[in-house]
């Protein structure tokens, strides 16, 4: 595996760990909206069309599925769902690129442990062999500069992991 794809795999693993629960929850919510929409139209369609975008129940081959427009009774909830989904997608991209920046910043495992939240250390350790991380004394000045420059995104990841803990209870 090349270094670039190993870095990308690490970023993907951390994002999956942090967002798997909320993505599953959002997918279930979309499935319920689609089922309710079909019920309102009196059919069993597993798809919705909204503003030329196609949405289908998870695990559906949507190219063969007939679809309904969003019924007026659920349109407001559907728009709210889409707004939350867009916010989540933006957050996921931001976190993904933050992790890629961190891994591009240093190939030293101690530097990475200093810049990534503690909740990511398990995934970092499990990928350390694939990425060929070095084990040497951390560059504290560079670490401090990186942490300061990326404080907002690191806090975003910490917040997501905290939300996951509370939702798991």
- pTM assigned to the model: 0.84
Q: What's the mean pLDDT in 90-94?
A: 95
pLDDT of residue 15: 92
Q: CA-CA distance, 169 to 72, in Å (whole number)? A: 36
Nearest CA to 35 among 68, 84, 72?
68
User: CB-based burial of residue 33 (10 Å sphere; 0-12 exposed, 13-18 middle, 19+ buried)?
Assistant: buried
Q: How long, in residues, is the chain?
A: 169
| Residues 43-87: tens digit of each pLDDT | 988 889 899 888 888 877 656 567 889 999 999 999 999 999 999
**Strand pairing class (53-56; 47-50):** antiparallel
Question: What does the DSSP 8-state code read for residue 33?
Answer: H
> Following DSSP, what letter does each residue of 49-112 receive, concatenated?
EETTEEEE-TT--GGG---EEPPTTTHHHHHHHHHHHHHHHHHHHHHHHHHHHHHHH--BHHHH
Residue 109: both structure tokens together: 């495992």
Q: What's the mean pLDDT in 148-158?
A: 92
Q: What's the mean pLDDT in 10-39?
A: 92
pLDDT of residue 63: 60
pLDDT of 17 > 80? The answer is: yes
Q: Which residues contact 47 (CB under 8 A, 6 or more apart)?
A: 34, 54, 55, 56, 57, 60, 62, 65, 66, 67, 68
pLDDT of residue 66: 77
Find out whether 27 and 116 touch, Cβ atoms under 8 Å.
no
Q: CA-CA distance, 108 to 34, in Å (whole number)? A: 47
| Residues 123-138: tens digit of each pLDDT | 888 877 777 777 888 7
């Amino acid at each position: 595996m090349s270094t670039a794809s190993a870095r990308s795999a690490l970023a993907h693993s951390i994002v999956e760990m942090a967002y798997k629960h909320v993505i599953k929850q959002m997918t279930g919510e979309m499935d319920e909206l689609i089922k309710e929409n079909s019920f309102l139209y009196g059919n069993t369609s597993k798809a919705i069309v909204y503003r030329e975008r196609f949405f289908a129940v998870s695990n559906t081959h949507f190219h063969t599925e007939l679809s309904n427009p969003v019924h007026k009774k659920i349109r407001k909830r559907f728009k709210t769902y889409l707004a939350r989904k867009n916010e989540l997608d933006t957050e996921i991209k931001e976190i993904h690129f933050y992790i890629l920046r961190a891994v591009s910043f240093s190939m030293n495992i101690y530097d990475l442990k200093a810049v990534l939240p503690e909740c990511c250390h398990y995934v970092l350790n499990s990928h350390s062999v694939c990425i060929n991380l070095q084990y040497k004394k951390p560059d504290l000045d560079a670490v401090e500069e990186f942490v300061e420059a990326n404080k907002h995104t690191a806090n975003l990841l910490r917040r997501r992991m905290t939300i996951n803990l509370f939702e798991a209870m």
